[in-house]
Amino acid sequence: MESDLSSEAPLARAFDAEAFRALGHRAVDQLADYLAKVQSGEDMPVRSWEDPEDAVTLWEASMDEDAASGGEDLIAQVLRVAFHGHHPRNLGHQVGPVLPAAAVVDLVASLLDTGSGVYEVGNPATPMERAVLRRLAHRIGLPSTADGVLTSGGSLGNLTALLAMRQCQSDAWAEGQPAEGRLAVLVSEEAHYCVDRAAKIMGWGERGVVAVPADKDFRLRAAGLEPALAEAKAAGLVVLGVVANAGATATGTIDPLHEIADFCERHGLWLHVDAAHSGAFVFSSSARPMLSGLERADSMVIDFHKMLLSPSLTTAVLFRRGKDSYQAFAQKADYLWRVDQTEDWWDGAKRTLECTRPMLGLRAYALFRYGGERLLEASIDRVLEATRDFAALIETADDFELLVAPESNILCYRYVPIEWKSSEWDALNERIRAILVREGRFYVVRVEKRGRTYLRSAVMNPFVHRAVFEDLLDEIRRIAQMIERE
């Protein structure tokens, strides 16, 4: 067939190495300027509000534009409207500011884009992944049998671990649901919703997730687990394990892991720890003791994109007995590998839901090469210290209250002015947050706990300081006065 020259020219232009160089240099310059500005936080909001439907209309209108046709540069356009995660007044979700060097490595990963399903295309991401997981297992204090995988996110990581938990105790891949007894897991009522989702994806239904009440400090306790297990058994459920938190999404609370591990040992149950948030503390010598007992878990997840400065999504799923990791997806895929059930760590897809994966190993490895454990420790220690400052400020303010003393870098608090009736405080905090988010100077989230509305901040930015928290409290007071005047 004759080649179509008219289509070759734009293709050649699009893949031209020099054009890539020019675009790349310009993009890095734009991002460096952006970073300098956003980190100073001076005269820019954390986010600018756009109605979602209006935003789609705008993006549809500019979809076919390029710089040559006079359209706005795409990167500039994105930077103008995006949420600014590196902003010091971003006190919202548990998404940390990305290490700039890690973003550069992500560019490399995106261009090479070698899937790590099988080793033939998996080098270097797969061996890097193994090196990172070994280091992590060592820091946790797991035995040398430990092994695992990286997945795209904690939700997928939790599902992967729970699939392995199930397969280690019943051959669901071959047999489906057991004929007798419905499978279930005991879960802290404070668990992230993805644990509930994982159980439902496995077909366990509403009864398959037994939510166990937490104590007054939001911790899962053996005293709560014992009756929950007895009741579940009496109801005909076959309980396979327990899911504990380190730390809980809403409050950052870390469950007493030794106590829960003892309970699991007593009853022959699998212990999975969702350490997506605080598992990172293994890199800080001062914070590590909070995780005591994590090394006794059968499986655990730790997100690199929460506390470890990685771009999303990068999650470690670790198993005490590495061979258990091969149980999660005990399945054949003839076009990828020929022998089922062999423990070939180098063929990544054997142990993850993802067939093609981003170069997660490179992404995680880069954090050690460009930052190192000392940087990770410094960042963790700094945000924990900043959170203690924030909590102290709230405790000394008459018009604010804390839900619970923070154990990590997540804080729940609310404005409780005596000029307002206490019955109005929930609605007031709700409105304050809505206005804060619309105005965009600060970003905080909301949470409902024990029937009350709280503001919630994950302090993720190691450069945040006390003045930012003082400014936030003043801003909240100002908005409340504005509401009162209305």
- Which residue number, 364 or 480, has a Cβ lying nearer to ligand PLP? 364
Two structure tokens written together for 434: 């809505």
Asked whether position 153 contacts ligand PLP by CB under 6 A, the answer is yes
Asked whether position 188 contacts ligand PLP by CB under 6 A, the answer is no
Element (H, E) at 237: strand 237-245
Asked whether position 209 contacts ligand PLP by CB under 6 A, the answer is no
Note whether 150 and 317 are within 8 A (CB): yes
- Which residue number, 274 or 347, has a Cβ lying nearer to ligand PLP? 274
Nearest partner of 87 among 30, 41, 33, judged by Cα: 41
User: Shortest gap between Cβ of 276 and ligand PLP (angstroms)?
Assistant: 4
- The residue sitting closest to ligand PLP, measured at its beta carbon, is 154
Stretch that binds ligand PLP, among 110-118, 269-277, 346-354, 431-439 (CB under 6 A): 269-277
Stretch that binds ligand PLP, among 141-149, 153-161, 341-349, 442-450 (CB under 6 A): 153-161
How many Å apart are CA 247 and CA 301, to the nearest integer?
11
List binders of ligand PLP among 296-355 (CB under 6 A). Answer: 303, 313, 315
Complete edge-to-edge strand list for the sheet that includes strand 299-303: 147-151, 315-319, 299-303, 270-274, 237-245, 182-188, 209-212
Complete DSSP assignment for 200-215:
HHTT-TGGGEEEEPP-
Buried b (16+ CB within 10 A) or exposed e, 431-464: bbbebbbeebbbbbbbbebeeebbbbbbbbbbeb
Stretch that binds ligand PLP, among 151-159, 169-177, 281-289, 471-479 (CB under 6 A): 151-159
Looking from the CA of 97 toward its CB, the CA atoms found within 13 Å total: 23
User: Shortest gap between Cβ of 157 and ligand PLP (angstroms)?
Assistant: 7
User: Shortest gap between Cβ of 93 and ligand PLP (angstroms)?
Assistant: 7
Asked whether position 192 contacts ligand PLP by CB under 6 A, the answer is yes
The correct pick among 129, 255, 274, 377 for binding ligand PLP (CB under 6 A) is: 274
How many Å apart are CA 263 and CA 345, to the nearest integer?
32
How many Å apart are CA 90 and CA 157, to the nearest integer?
26
Note whether 233 and 239 are within 8 A (CB): yes
Stretch that binds ligand PLP, among 72-80, 122-130, 271-279, 392-400 (CB under 6 A): 271-279
What are residue 149's DSSP bridge partners? 317
User: Shortest gap between Cβ of 207 and ligand PLP (angstroms)?
Assistant: 22
Each residue 241-260 as x (binds ligand PLP by CB under 6 A) or -, in order, gives --------x-----------
User: Shortest gap between Cβ of 159 and ligand PLP (angstroms)?
Assistant: 10
Stretch that binds ligand PLP, among 54-62, 148-156, 255-263, 378-386 (CB under 6 A): 148-156
Three-state DSSP at 401 gives strand
- Which residue number, 114 or 314, has a Cβ lying nearer to ligand PLP? 314
Binding site for ligand PLP (CB under 6 A): 94, 153-155, 192, 194, 249, 274, 276-277, 303, 313, 315
